[in-house]
Structure 1
Amino acid sequence: MSGPHTTVLSVPFDSAERARRVERSVRPEIGAIDGDRTTATLVREGDTVEITVTADDLVALRAGCNTWLTLVGTAERADTGAGTVQSTREG
């Protein structure tokens, strides 16, 4: 069966502010990493980020979903770590 195939990745966060920071981190990739077979759109509503991945075939859909889940996960981890950085400067 040929495409288009679509999946919506809905990622809830503990606050709208955190969802906004993650959204702003991954938004520049919309359009930049689209391929010949896959595209994505990004929407944030409150504390939830939704990415819709559309692909011509199931292999491309899986690759697109993996890419976006990795990007969101990385942005989420970076956001978590941002609040824990401490200065090592003395004095």
Structure 2
Amino acid sequence: MSSHDATLEFDYETASRAELVAESVGREIGEIDDERSRTTIEREGARVHIEIDADDVIALRAALNTWFSLIDVAERTADVGAAVLESQ
């Protein structure tokens, strides 16, 4: 079977924000992966780098949807947390 892959890169205003997002979604590595797709995540400074490798395009699309959703939730949660800290 042919392999399909995608690279996602997310840039943040600070390295600490990137670390927070990477740690939040990084917990899902291994939990979401299955026999059809595998994912790695790395953080370099203020950038989060996600690499997805899938056996077929359907598995790749499913993995992309999942990781975009997880990143979105992590970013929104970090925004709420930052707003709460600012208001104190």
CA distance in 1, matches of 2:64, 2:52: 7
CA distance in 1, matches of 2:83, 2:11: 22
User: 2:26 is matched with which residue?
Assistant: 27
CA distance in 1, matches of 2:6, 2:64: 8
User: 1:81 is matched with which residue?
Assistant: 80
TM-score (normalised: structure 2): 0.91
User: 2:7 is matched with which residue?
Assistant: 8
TM-score (normalised: structure 1): 0.88
1:57 and 2:56 matched: yes
Residue type at the aligned position of 2:39: A
Q: Which stretches in structure 1 are left out of the alignment for 5+ residues?
A: none
Q: Which stretches in structure 2 are left out of the alignment for 5+ residues?
A: none
The structure having more radius of gyration, on CA atoms, is: 1
SS at the partner of 1:29?
A: coil
RMSD: 1.3
How many residue pairs match? The answer is 86
Q: Pick the structure with more helix per residue.
A: 2
Share of identical aligned residues, percent?
A: 41
